[in-house]
Amino acid sequence: MTSNIKDALTLLETREQRAIKQKTLLKQGIPLVVIRANYPGTHKLNAHTTIVVSLLAHEITQRYSIVHKEISCTEEGLITYLLIDEDPYKIKQQMIKLEENHPLGRLSDIDIITQDKILSRHDSQQPPRRCYLCNDNAHICSRSQKHSIDEIQTYFKNKIETFCQSKISTMVYFSLISELCLHPKFGLVTPYTNGSHDDMDFELFITSALTICPYFDKVALIPIVDDYQHMFQELRVLGLQIEEAMFNSTNQVNTHKGAIFLFLLLIMGLRLGPDIKDNIQRLSQSLTQDFQDIKDKHQLTHGEIIYQELGIKGVKGFALNGFDSLFEIYVPFYQQCEHDPQLKTLLKIMSHCEDTTIIHRKDLNTLHWLQTQANNVLNNQLSILKLDQQCQHNNLSPGGSADILSLVIYLDILKNKEERSI
């Protein structure tokens, strides 16, 4: 049996599972809204489809009082199920408007299901959906295979990336979700596994990202002045606001604290001019005082304890060096990768990064072991799956490396934006 046939059979099985889930949810007697990505092919669970479904589901949850919400991650991609206790025909009319008017709406399928039927556009006196490539009847295009799968997938991905490039917040969201959807990922959370975590899962990371990302647009409101220390303090105040929002949305679980710190510095560094490394270094000078003040503190963070015991500065040291390895090693490496650039770049980061999350979970020797193992994978001396198994077995999770990968993805989408504007 070929892999394509296996994929197709698996997809059919997951559709049957979805039908069973829908039938179970409908037992509550409340209209069910099901949000999926309108994406062809068999490999539907990816960053682009996840962005479409999560953003549109978030939009809907802001408009309605949700009785029940759950998600599933299968070969059909991310699917969100919402029970909404309102007139299903009115919900259908609003969902048609969302599909037609939201920039990503036509890339989605939003079904309204009752115990009797799946509501159609005809039920709302609306014309059939149009193909998002040629604007003809979408059903006819699909039946006739008017467009190739590659053509549709390319349009789908370009549409999402163009949308995300419109604002800082959506570029950060694209970066965080792209990192999140990477699999396998060496003890980190992915769509398929919670990795080494018993307090985090895929849905929690999406919730966190949706919560924190709008705040990053506020970096553009910070006045540019000659006093870099003053600008850093403004960033710090904003960072604390974002952290508070994150913890409130995750029931006090730390999902993105490191990423918040890094993205604030990167975004401000980009605002201050072309010498981004120097800008970040100058912004970060206030951090030297943090290390000097440790001796007077009664309660230390995990990172401060590691610095006190081992002299390793972690993410703050990375900032004080102007994110040097990001610009000098990781971004060039990413740009040179022809296949699996995100996975290979994560391994590259893991092989270099003094990831204090590993030291906190285990010790310095384990960090050195992981750096060596990541390098062995890059040199084809160890399999990706074997290292993933080893990390989960040893309860490791290179969260600091994952945060840096998000920065690499952000700089890549920013580069693509600038190239498109030329």
**pLDDT digits 0-9 by tens, 269-309:** 999 999 999 999 999 999 998 888 787 777 888 888 888 88
Q: What contacts 309, CB < 8 A, 6 or more positions away?
A: none
Residues 6+ positions from 70 with CB-CB distance below 8 Å: 25, 80, 81
H/E stretch holding 375 reads: helix 364-378
Interatomic CA distance for residues 180 and 51, integer angstroms: 11
What is the C-alpha separation between 93 and 258, in angstroms, rounded? Answer: 42
Confidence of residue 369 (pLDDT cuts 50, 70, 90): very high
Token code pair at residue 11: 């997809």
Q: How far apart are CA 48 and CA 224, in angstroms?
A: 34
pLDDT band at 2 (very low <50, low <70, confident <90, very high): low
pLDDT at residue 419 tops 90: no
* Per-chain mean pLDDT for the chain: 93
The pLDDT score that the predictor gives to residue 243 is 98
pLDDT per residue as tens digits for the range 190-221: 999 999 999 999 999 999 999 999 999 999 99
> Are 209 and 177 spatial neighbours (Cβ–Cβ below 8 Å)?
yes
Higher pLDDT, 266 or 10: 266
Task: Indicate the range of 183-192, 362-371, 411-420 predicted with least confidence.
Answer: 411-420
Give the pLDDT confidence of 120-172 residue by residue, as tens digits: 888 888 888 888 888 888 888 888 888 999 999 999 999 999 999 999 999 99
57/26 Cα distance (integer angstroms): 19
**Residues 113/117/119/125 CA torsion (nearest 10 deg):** -160
Q: Give the pLDDT mean for 226-246.
A: 97
Integer angstrom CA distances of residue 379 from 243, 348, 370, 383: 38, 11, 14, 10
Q: Give tens-digit pLDDT for 307-328.
A: 888 888 899 999 999 999 999 9
Residue spans of beta strands (DSSP E) within 31-87: 32-37, 68-74, 77-83
All structural domains of the chain: 3-150 (no CATH), 165-421 (1.10.4200)
pTM of the model: 0.94
